[in-house]
Structure formats: C-alpha cells, structure tokens
Amino acid sequence: MRANLSMRAPTDDTAGATLTGGVRCYHHTVRIGSRGPHWADVTTELLRWGVKTRSGFSIQGDPTVLPGRRYWLIARLGPFRIHEPVQVVAVVDEPTRVGFAYGTLAGHPVRGEETFLVERRTDGSVWLTLRSRTRPAPGLRSLVYPLALVAQQFYRWRYFRALR
C-alpha cells in the first residue's frame, strides 16, 4: 500500500496562486454550456472531482472536494497506473463561481498546482477555466517531466470536454 498521505509534504509554496491567476501559468477558458440545470449539474460534478474522473482519472477515498483534504489521483495510461498525491488548497463556492485548486504532494510525478473554476455569466452561459503551473519534480522524477507535459496536454483537452 502507498505511504500515508498525511506524511507527504506539499511541493509548492504558493498555495492557491493559480486560483487567482497571480502566477505565471497555463490559463485557458472555454464555454461548456448555458442556462437552466446545466449550472447545478456542472458545479455538483466539479466539486466531486468530475472533471478528473470524466477525463480518465480515479479518485481514491471520499470524492467530496474540501479544503485541506488530501487525495490519491490515479491516472491510467495504457497498462500503467500513476498515483498522484495531492491536497486541495482552496475552494470557491459563490453564486456565480465554483471551483477548487489543488497542489501536488511529495511523490507526485511533477510539482505544481492546478485550478478548475466554472463561472456562470450574466447571459446564462457557463464557462470552465483551467489554470495550472507545473515544474519538474526533484530527483529521478525530473527525467519523466517531458512525458508528463505531453500527458498534461492530452488531459487538458479531455478536461474541457468532461463537463459539457
């Protein structure tokens, strides 16, 4: 069994920075729907890791997104399973904006943070924003960083389709 998540140190010292866009990072927003029940469905799904699970990840443990809670995200790449320890560093739950940011923990293939934020605009349209900042993990994990960047592009494409 994998080491206890509570024993793992955060790998980034700017918790929540991608939530505000205050750091140099990847940033992209797409329209994912409009009006009616779509907003309620999307926000509920987002705060249960739906953007990740609908993109091919598994979540180990209670899927409810809560600040400070730690999770194992499990990516499936062909026959391989990559276990990614993360911690939710911020949650937004406002009438027109819902989302969260998580940071990597020691043992993750990369170092950084990722934010998923949905917004309902005045015209009723619903938009998904993804922000992420990624750096190589220390040690031997840094050797797989170029492959991690390719996987990241693939998953970003899936994230934007996951909540439509």
Backbone angles phi, psi at 93, to 5 degrees: -140, 85
The pLDDT tens digits of the residues spanning 90-148 come to 999 999 999 999 999 988 888 899 999 999 999 999 999 999 988 888 888 788 888 88
d(CA 69, CA 139): 26
Give the pLDDT mean for 11-36. Answer: 74
All structural domains of the chain, each given as residue ranges with its CATH number in brackets, are 15-159 (3.30.530.20)
Identify the top-confidence range among 72-86, 117-131, 147-161: 117-131
d(CA 161, CA 138): 32
Tokens of 37: 């029940």
pTM, entire model: 0.85
Question: What ranges make up the beta strands (E) of the chain?
Answer: 26-34, 57-60, 70-77, 80-93, 97-104, 110-120, 125-136
Considering the chain, what percentage of its residues have pLDDT values greater than 70? Answer: 85
